[in-house]
Amino acid sequence: MPRAIWSGSISFGMVTIPVKLFGATESRDIRFNLIHATCGSKLQQKRWCPTDEVEVPWNETSRGYEFAKGQYVVLTEEDFEQLPLPSKHTIELSAFVEEQEIDPVFYEKSYYLEPAERAEKPYALLLKALEEKKLSATASITIRKKEQLCVLRPHKGTIMLETLYYPDEIRQERSSDLDRVKVSEKELGMAFTLIELLKKPFDPSEYRDTYREALAQLIEAKLEGKQVVSAPAARDTGVIDLAEALKRSVEAAKKGSKPKPPARAGTRPARRRTRKVG
């Protein structure tokens, strides 16, 4: 069983719920080491002091904030411990909001909250209340010496904790001139038809990390000295007739096949060659 990365309690009015926090996701990416291209040796990454010209061990490092070029305010572990952060040990619920009110761009990382020993009943009470009301609870939590905005939401019989970005961490929306682009009713109608044909419940088991699979096959092929298969040619991304592309997409969706890319606008299909007999 994985180790809890945080232990504390949820403060819900006068109710206190001891809980433990566990990571809900993990990266399955294939990891690489940096090697020296000429000899194949694994490279070492060192903490090097250019002033003393020595390698620095972890116990001789500190964190510094650069307030001017080459000038730092140094913070020690004791400085971080003395920060006035109640959220280091308590997740105090500050408000209840509807989940759809939180734009997905704010979500950062997911965690599971599990009740500590003899805390099952108040935990179940909060879970049931969130489920029945279809609400999420906003709060703050300090993880690894950093206080973060978070939200608690019910998910398949457990309470998830999602850390959120603060508003000033979200990049401003880019301006767009798409309002000036004209879309015909015919094109919009075919787009709606295509959407309805492809609409279905989200099932995450239907999706695979094809990049990771291809990368694993490439590594295996190199280990066995086999020929590496090249990628298929890219699809033609030239200018196409939008209405024709939508029509072909709808026809293919009805048949359950993938649509073939239409010819570029203004081009003619190649003539079929015929062979003379006799």
Dmax over CA atoms of the chain, in Å, equals 98
What is this structure's pTM?
A: 0.71
Spatial contact of 11 and 89, defined as CB atoms under 8 Å apart: no
Whether the predicted pLDDT of 95 surpasses 90: yes
Spatial contact of 122 and 128, defined as CB atoms under 8 Å apart: no
Q: How confident is the model at residue 4 (pLDDT cuts 50, 70, 90)?
A: very high
Q: Give the β-pairing of 15-23 and 95-98.
A: unpaired
Kindly state the percentage of the chain with pLDDT values over 90.
44
CA–CA dist 234, 265 (Å, integer): 18
Closest CA to 87 of 43, 138, 136, 40: 138
pLDDT in tens, 225-255: 876 656 566 565 555 677 777 778 878 877 7
Q: Residues of 236-275 as b/e, b for ≥16 C-beta within 10 angstroms?
A: eeeebebeeebbbbbeebeeeeebeebeeeeeeeeeeeee
Q: Name the residue ranges covered by the structural domains of the chain.
A: 6-26+82-169, 184-197+241-262
Strands, E, within 31-98: which ranges? Answer: 48-49, 54-55, 63-68, 71-75, 90-92, 95-98
What type of residue sits at position 151? V
Q: How confident is the model at residue 270 (pLDDT cuts 50, 70, 90)?
A: very low
Write the Ramachandran bin of 13: left for phi over 0, alpha for psi from -120 to 50, otherwise beta: left
Give the residue with greater pLDDT, 121 vs 268.
121
Give the residue with greater pLDDT, 233 vs 128.
128
Whether the predicted pLDDT of 150 surpasses 90: yes
Contacts 24+ apart (CB under 8 A), 130-136: 130/154, 130/159, 133/96, 134/98, 134/99, 135/96, 135/97, 135/98, 135/99, 136/96, 136/97, 136/98, 136/99, 136/102
CA–CA dist 212, 223 (Å, integer): 17
CA angle at 82 for the pair 81 and 87, rounded to the nearest 5°: 70
Give the residue with greater pLDDT, 226 vs 28.
28
- 6-26+82-169 carries CATH number 1.10.150.530: no
Q: How confident is the model at residue 174 (pLDDT cuts 50, 70, 90)?
A: low
CA–CA dist 44, 53 (Å, integer): 16
